[in-house]
Chain A
């Protein structure tokens, strides 16, 4: 039983990745989106100082997450969802989506980072720390928006709804991330830094647990 669950999940992840590789429009669409956003910022304020760099980076990350993850449920047609419903347990389905979105968001985060460094200069001193933070941020954002996309997909595939539901929730998340990231620009002592990491991690665990418990209820249709 345990192994079938894992196998089903892995198959679903593989299917999502395969779909992405076959119809690359989504990936390149987001890529273009990232590059154009960062390029526009570059045209407007050339090389921003580190505080603004940090803020802009996370804002770009946010919109990338919304765009990349919204479509993970919106692309599934009703018929296809019904087909999955007859095949797999909803929990395996949501876990597969979570894993796939984490992978997608990790890649997108790296691309955003490279673009920002290319166009906006590189104020990052502590590079590996910053890389860790953006990976953590990517994971948190993708978990949150996967759950919200699942809800929005049920509510008439409404993308505007996802924005309404998502923005208040991700606000504290982004605030935490940007203040954690501060340490990679300037060498400062930040009290309560481990506490904030702990808080982020527990928020992630909370979202995973909630989506595992609640998704089966959303699925019934």
Chain B
């Protein structure tokens, strides 16, 4: 029980985030209205995705170092959880864009590049399915995973900062932090980061256990 305290913490934090997220007083910014509450659910999804993809690429590097199949199982589990949270982040962002940008899929660079990055990771998952041999699959997908991560950073982090976007926080559109004068939003946002990240780690550990059971005969 002692090592499961963080799961209880996750549940408590997320209950706090969801209740507070919908009820707390938030500053009304421009045409956003109440839709700014999406912040508490949209931004943490990306943090979860980055966390998972980082875990995934680190495990892939470790795999190529020692050729330990356990590391490959960890890498693939992290990548699939990362894609899941990426899709959630994309969905919440699209929902918000529908009411503030006037369209679900505008030609916004941030939105498009994120979709591209997610597609690269989906290609990683498809690549894994296409190779039946376990060792070969582990090696090739580790290589592709590193390739994908090396492209993820410029696609979702560097290029969006260089071009103009409708997304809050870019060149011509101020972020929400400047309007949040009494730090009301931050009081929910920071716990939200921690809570959702813990949830993603939780899902990840469950998936890892499942994968290990699946490969029980190999791991001994």
Interface residues of A (CB under 8 A from B): 147, 151, 154-156, 158, 161, 164-165, 167-169, 171-172, 192, 195, 199, 202-203, 206, 210, 214, 217-218, 220-221
Contacts and interface: CB of A to CB of B under 8 A. Distances in A.
Contact of A206 (B122, B131, B150): B150
Contact of B151 (A154, A169, A192, A220): A169
Contacts of A158: 130
Contact of A154 (B123, B126, B140): B140
Contact of A147 (B119, B147, B155): B147
Contacts, number: 68
Contacts of B159: 172, 199
The secondary structure that dominates the A interface is: helix
A168 B140 CA distance: 18
Contacts of A206: 150-151, 154
19 contacts: A151-B143, A155-B130, A155-B131, A155-B136, A156-B131, A161-B127, A164-B127, A168-B116, A172-B159, A195-B162, A199-B159, A202-B154, A203-B154, A206-B151, A206-B154, A214-B143, A217-B143, A218-B139, A218-B143
Interface in B142-183: 142-144, 146-147, 150-151, 154-155, 159, 162-163
A146 to B, nearest CB: 12
Given A161-B127, A168-B119, A169-B120, 8 more contacts: A151-B143, A155-B140, A161-B126, A171-B116, A192-B163, A206-B150, A206-B154, A218-B140
A168 B123 contact: yes
B39 interface: no
Contacts of A210: 146-147, 150
A206 B116 CA distance: 18
A214 B146 contact: yes
How large, as a class, is the contact surface on chain B? 20 to 34
B154 A154 contact: no
Contact of B113 (A155, A172, A217): A172
Interface of B: 64, 113, 116-117, 119-120, 122-123, 126-127, 130-131, 136, 139-140, 142-144, 146-147, 150-151, 154-155, 159, 162-163
A151 B146 CA distance: 12
A156 B162 CA distance: 39
A214 B140 CA distance: 10
Contacts of A169: 116, 120, 151
B146 A220 contact: no
A98 B88 CA distance: 38
A156 B126 CA distance: 14
A220 B139 contact: yes
B13 to A, nearest CB: 34
B64 A165 contact: no
Nearest to B144: A151
A168 B116 CA distance: 5
B127 A217 contact: no
B127 A155 contact: yes
**Residue from the set B146, B147, B154 with the largest chain A CB neighbour count within 10 Å:** B147
A214 B120 contact: no
Nearest to A202: B154
Contacts of B140: 151, 154-155, 218
A203 B150 CA distance: 10
B64 A217 contact: yes
Nearest to A166: B123
A93 to B, nearest CB: 15
Given A168-B120, A172-B113, A217 B130 contact: no
